[in-house]
Amino acid sequence: MPEPDSAHGPHGSAPRRLKPAPLLFEPAAAASDEAHFFDLESIEDPRELLSRSTELVLAFRAATDRAMEFQAMAAAQLADPRRFDRLTPAVIAERAEWTEDYAKKMVEFGRELMRGGEVLD
């Protein structure tokens, strides 16, 4: 997945500059243990711990941004006036647990993405 020079969400998030580390899924047994988090607790060297935890932060941010882009595109599709079953911003907001104003911004952001705005691959 190429990293863009900048990609802004509807609330003006800062541009992404660093390529994030891949997210690795934890086994169910490890995920249920609250003391266990991506094996960070086993890293004893503080330099290595800082490096790996920073990689995870960047990866989670990138995943959040990507998921938000998909939310925006889905909201735009659901609000499309050409759909016979289109939804209002109020209904979209309720389903996504957003405010109606935020839903309107997400619909517009999704339309921009679908028109060829910056969408990550």
Report the C-alpha gap between 101 and 92 in whole angstroms.
11
8 Å CB contact between 104 and 89: yes
Per-residue pLDDT of 41-68, as tens digits, reads 889 999 999 999 999 999 999 999 999 9
Q: What is the enclosing helix (H) or strand (E) of 50?
A: helix 46-78
Report the C-alpha gap between 28 and 86 in whole angstroms.
38
Q: Is the pLDDT of residue 15 over 90?
A: no
Q: 0.85 cut: is pTM over it?
A: no
> In sequence order, which residues have a C-beta less than 8 Å from that of residue 107 and are 6 or more positions away?
72, 75, 76, 79, 89, 92
